Structure 1
Amino acid sequence: MTEPTSYLRRTADAYDALALPYAALARDDLEAPSLDRTFLQAFADQVRAAGGGPVAELGCGPGPVTAHLHGLGLDAFGIDLSPVMIGLAREAYPDLRFEIGSMDALELADGEAAGIVSWYSVIHVPPRELPPYFDEFRRVLAPGGLLLLAFFESEGEPVTVFDHRVTEAWRWPVDELARLAAGAGFTEVGRMLREPREGERYRRGHLLMRAAAG
């Protein structure tokens, strides 16, 4: 992997610097009925139907999605590169578990997690560096565990870099992201694309994947 620490450090520093204004942004996709919230509910239903267990939100930021998953009855905890974000999450949700860590080297045992949520976090990984992340997700998921990805969809274009408000990020074709996950042993359960709402620039993509059974 080429210079693995450079983009990770850049991402962590950028989110540290903008943590307070970022945390203050409205989370409309969670606070009101929406397709985004419906897909999180579907993920939670699938995890419970498979027997439940720990669910890691990777790139949790200030914690609202982790808290939402907890409210859906999941044993959810959050991991993020940014120490400042983790501090805000612990302050906002003191009863939940939040840890500093990187998605590409999780301090979790093989097969420990029943589910993983990456809610607009893999978008910051340079495309050539992304495949090993899916290998790591597969490692920590139990056989049959669920992976939920949320991302900005490229709307017919190839993988495209864009001016994310915090730091460098990429928009992905949904088929290409599904192909990369399949290469690590995931099978697609379902997908959802939605058009931008007022104030949003890009189409949103969601993929629900299941880890191979063995």
Structure 2
Amino acid sequence: MTDFRVQQAYSERAGEYTSALGAIDQMHALDRHRIGRWAKLISGRVLDAGCGPGHWADFLHRRGVNVSGIDLVAEFIDGARRRFPEVTFQVSSLRRIDVADGSLDGVLAWYSLIHVPPAELPVILSELSRALAPQGQLLIGFFEGDHAESFDHGITTAYYWSIEQITSLLLAAGFDVIDIETRQGSGSRPHAAISATTR
């Protein structure tokens, strides 16, 4: 099962990952700007879906956002609760989010979908759509490349996605795409971000 594979892989290296990528000042300045700008569009409840060490949830909280975080990895959640006690964190799968239909105003899925096999991504996008209110805001970050091409990520298998394919999947899940950003830096994989709203 994919969730178990990803959970185990990150559990074994949660401390290492948090040290390397668990602080907001370790994040790209353009990503901080992008997520901060996105958050200004939202006045209600936001979920950091696949929050990892919790730094993006804390980033949003410090900007006055009503945010909580979920992640598969208990070690990430335990650490996030210790480091950011003013934010609510919970162990949960993105396949079944413990919120009522239409109860969220925003979902941040920042590099939290990169390990989802292609056949399973539509299920998760539909679950995010279910949880969001009409005109709810979704922002996803991912590695741009040939559609569903797998690669050896530092933790466990991950996938590139094309802009066209993610856009198609979002439309099928009940979203309208608002804007798209791409970036290619020296020595890094191509980055993409897509913001969308529920219909």
Normalised to the residue count of structure 1, the TM-score between the two structures is 0.88
Per-residue deviation, 1:42: 2.0
1:210 aligns with 2:188: no
Cα distance change of structure 1 residues 29 and 150 upon mapping to structure 2, 3 Å threshold: farther
Rounded Cα–Cα distance in structure 2 between residues aligned with 1:84 and 1:21: 11
SS at match of 1:124: coil
Rounded Cα–Cα distance in structure 2 between residues aligned with 1:208 and 1:42: 11
Rounded Cα–Cα distance in structure 1 between residues aligned with 2:185 and 2:72: 28
Candidates 102, 107, 117, aligned match of 2:108: 117
The superposition leaves residues 91-127 of structure 1 with CA deviations (integer Å, 9 ceiling, x where unpaired) of: 1111110000000100110111110000101111100
SS at match of 1:105: coil
Cα distance change of structure 1 residues 31 and 22 upon mapping to structure 2, 3 Å threshold: closer
Contact 1:146–1:210 (8 Å) recurs in 2: yes
Per-residue deviation, 1:153: 0.6
SS at match of 1:167: coil
Cα distance change of structure 1 residues 144 and 101 upon mapping to structure 2, 3 Å threshold: same
Per-residue deviation, 1:19: 0.3
- Could you tell me the percent identity over the aligned residues? 33
Superposed CA RMSD in Å reads 1.6
Q: Which runs of 4+ in 1 moved over 6 A?
A: none
Is there any run of 5+ residues in structure 2 with no aligned partner, and where? none
Q: Which residue of the partner structure matches residue 54 of structure 1?
A: 45
Is there any run of 5+ residues in structure 1 with no aligned partner, and where? 1-5
1:150 aligns with 2:141: yes
Aligned residues: 199
Rounded Cα–Cα distance in structure 2 between residues aligned with 1:34 and 1:179: 29
1:84 aligns with 2:75: yes
The superposition leaves residues 151-190 of structure 1 with CA deviations (integer Å, 9 ceiling, x where unpaired) of: 0111xx2321011111111010012111101111101111
Q: Which residue of the partner structure matches residue 15 of structure 1?
A: 10
Q: Which residue of the partner structure matches residue 127 of structure 2?
A: 136
Instruction: Please identify, of 36-45 and 55-64, the stretch whose mean Cα deviation from structure 2 is larger.
Output: 36-45
Cα distance change of structure 1 residues 88 and 28 upon mapping to structure 2, 3 Å threshold: closer
Rounded Cα–Cα distance in structure 2 between residues aligned with 1:82 and 1:113: 22
SS at match of 1:98: strand
Contact 1:30–1:68 (8 Å) recurs in 2: no
Normalised to the residue count of structure 2, the TM-score between the two structures is 0.95
Q: Which residue of the partner structure matches residue 196 of structure 1?
A: 185
Per-residue deviation, 1:38: 1.7
Per-residue deviation, 1:28: 7.7
Q: What letter corresponds to residue 148 of structure 2 in structure 1?
A: V
